[in-house]
Amino acid sequence: MIERVARSYVDALGRERRATPETVARFEALIGDEAHDFVAPTRVLREGEPLAIEVTLPAMSWPESVQWSLVREDGSTEEGTLPLRDAAVVRADHRPESTYDTRRIVLTGPQPLGTHRLALEVAAYGRASVHVVVAPARAYAPQGRTWGIAVQLYTLRSARNAGIGDFADLRTVCRLLGERGATYVGINPLHAPFRGDPEAASPYAASSRKWLNWLYVALDDVPEHASAPVRAVVEQPGRDATIVALRAREVVDYAGVAAAKDAVLRACAAALDSNAARRDAFDAWCAVQGEQLLRFAIFEALVARFGRELTTWPSTFRTPSSPDIALFAATEQTEIHYAMYLQFLAAEQLHAVAEDAAHHGVQLYRDLAVGVDANAADVWADAGAYVEDVSVGAPPDVLNTQGQDWGLPPPDPRGLGREGYAELLAVVQSNCRDAGALRIDHAFSLARLYWIPRGADPRSGTYVTYPIDDLRGIVALASVRERCVVIGEDLGTVPDGFRERMAETGILSYRILFFERRLDGSFIPPEEYPELALATSGTHDLPTIAAWLRAEDVGLRHRLGLLEIEPDAATTARENDRRLLLDTLIDHGDLTPDEQDDDAAVIVAANRYLAATPSAIVMAQLDDILAERTPVNVPGTSMQYPNWRRKLGTDVDALATDGRLTRLCAALNEIRPGATP
């Protein structure tokens, strides 16, 4: 059996850790090899490679011939016959009942990019249908040395939103930054949350990675919003005061926002039938989305009825193929229609934002989470693609010496390929859509994931490997189809050869200023950054630069019980790092000695330093530019800290005249002028 479960590994602290025999045995039992008596269900090729397949048959079958027929993605066909004696034997397996030969059969020449179906038959010995995926050798390439600014969409304040940043606010930001010379506007994952549990706010533990977050729909951009029945809801006594209060809050009141938006959007859904053109557009869109959209909408209706814990549902509703699901759907047409309508609006508005942004020279830089919640719509729709009673996390590292358990179910390494990687391709391609770049969170998942027995200590887990060559091909195919640059977030314990294989596929590395150090702790100079990379000064999991300079994150982690060393020692270490960073920026000419106590100057200098790298993309953080001091997320916390809720202190409409933003954009344009996507 192929060794997919690591017996030992080296963690980010340089220590070798051994998995317990019990853990190894448990994981191997969950993903034991599937015996392919004839042929594997999926073959991933690179563009330009001949169509070659390995078949395993009794050795006595060698006088027979393989009959094959290929149906390509575009509907065209090709077929042929090949004598087995002409195929090379690559492996022999001497089983008790017979000897089996594995032969490599070259059926025909290179095939076009896409997903195709191959039918094989060898007399009485074997018959199978194989998914053939032809992927490009490289993902879509970045164009020049560009820059952008990242923002957490929900943090945006405006005088017109309903207490959470929305697609109309994003349109405003894209126009402004496009006019200032940016190529990209980065945003947090737009994945669909649990609509019935709005306070479950993490975009990295969503209900679906294929569908969108309805809370980002801008109410005043919905065409049905202007109808009389909807206006009656909007003009109800007390509603204006509620919206004003939601806008004024320092953190997003997800439950309040959801209630306020739901009331209006239900009225909009009811008004859809009054406009034949809009109803036709909705019906046409739903038809294109097909069965996947219907399943998602049914799931949302089921959650509304039974709650979000799948294990508490009646057993006949836990699988979408159950006959009871069709009966349930027939009685819940209004709720199902509403769920589909919300997705229609979100997709419509996101596409409109992307088109408008393009007119201003800027593209969206989207984010794909590593997984979904254990009770997610994606899990319910295809439970066989995930492994039960296991969660994904990370081994101990410098930030979390106890390890991390993210609570997400891992994809089944075997299940990924059973249907030609169709699910992965759909997820990546849907997140590349309406974007010029996509960040894949924890991209190591293409090679391996750290599995933890559910409920166990994170340190008791170990790594399980995934078919990286197949998976990077699927990512490249989605990237090329959507003309979207892909960035693989490769922070933490880097598997041997991982970055080299990503670079070979044209997937950018992800380099953070604070982590790019030499062994002596010094910051590496800009010229040593790789070209095929995105360089940035921070992420949603790190303190803002202003907070980092003052070691405020050290104090916060101490108060939350997350600090592994004495606070004084941590503060001293941070002061040393601060001094080292300031000296580096001064020596490089990005900061003058009399500016080192000026946060705005330091933030500009840090981004100038990164802009001097040869890296393809540099991303600044809007939180840094606006001198925010509190983090949006503290890794390792759930209820202890209000993650994914803090808003910006500056209104969207004020950004146009904000001198800090003007100064930062001017600095980036000076070093990276005139780049276009």
Q: Exposed, middle or buried by CB within 10 Å (0-12, 13-18, 19+), for 157?
A: buried
Assign residue 94 a region: left if phi > 0, alpha if psi is -120 to 50, beta otherwise? beta
Place of tokens 């960073």: 581
Percentage of the chain modeled with pLDDT above 90: 85
pLDDT tens digits along 252-306: 999 999 999 999 999 999 999 999 999 999 999 999 999 999 999 999 999 999 9
Sorting pLDDT into bands at 50, 70 and 90, what band is 584?
Answer: very high
- Average pLDDT, integer, range 544-571: 94
Crossing angle, helix 291-306 and helix 276-289, to 10 degrees?
A: 100
Please report which helix (H) or strand (E) contains residue 10, including its range. strand 8-10
pLDDT at 677 over 60: no
The string over 610-620, giving b where at least 16 C-beta atoms fall within 10 Å of a residue's C-beta and e elsewhere, is bbbbebbbbbb
Domains of the chain: 48-135 (2.60.40), 158-350 (3.20.20.80)
Determine the pLDDT at residue 80: 96
Q: What is the mean pLDDT of residues 158-183?
A: 98
Nearest to 413 by CA among 18, 25, 673, 34: 34
Please give the mean pLDDT across all residues of the chain: 94
What would the mean pLDDT of 503-527 be, rounded to a whole number?
97
The predicted model gives 334-341 an average pLDDT of 98
**Closest Cα partner for 209 from 133, 292, 274, 271?**
292
- CB proximity list for 104: less than 8 A, separation 6 or greater: 52, 53, 54, 87, 88, 90
Q: Which of 662, 639, 658 is nearest to 648 (CA)?
A: 658
pLDDT digits (tens, 9 = 90+) for 39-49: 999 999 999 99
What pLDDT score does 450 carry? 95
Judged against a pLDDT cut of 70, whether residue 141 lies above it is answered with yes
Per residue in 61-84, pLDDT tens?
A: 889 999 999 999 999 999 999 999
DSSP summary character for residue 386: B
- Say if residue 345's pLDDT is above 90: yes
Residue 587 confidence (pLDDT) above 60: yes
| DSSP string for residues in 200-226 | ---TTSBSEEEEE-GGG--GGG-GGGG
- Over residues 177-190, the mean pLDDT reads 97
Q: What integer pLDDT is reported at residue 1 of this predicted model?
A: 45
> Span 610-623, mean pLDDT?
98
Asked whether residue 146 carries a pLDDT value surpassing 60, the answer given is yes
Q: What is the pLDDT of residue 492?
A: 82
Residue pair 56/39 in contact by the 8 Å Cβ criterion: yes
Phi-psi region of 134 (alpha: psi -120 to 50; beta: other; left: phi over 0): beta
What confidence tens digit (pLDDT) does each residue in 93-137 have?
Answer: 888 778 889 999 999 999 999 999 999 999 888 899 999 999 999
* pLDDT tens digit sequence for 427-478: 999 999 999 999 999 999 999 999 999 889 888 999 999 999 999 999 999 9
- Judged against a pLDDT cut of 70, whether residue 170 lies above it is answered with yes
For residue 412, give the DSSP letter: P
- 401, pLDDT greater than 80: no
pLDDT for the residue numbered 99: 87
DSSP β-ladder status, 114-122 and 65-71 = antiparallel
Alpha carbons 444 and 275: distance in angstroms, whole number: 48
Residues 404 and 441 sit within 8 Å (Cβ to Cβ): no
List of E strands, 552-640 = 617-621
How sure is the predictor about 376, in pLDDT bands with cuts at 50, 70 and 90? very high
**pLDDT value of position 399:** 62
How much of the chain exceeds pLDDT 70, in percent?
A: 98
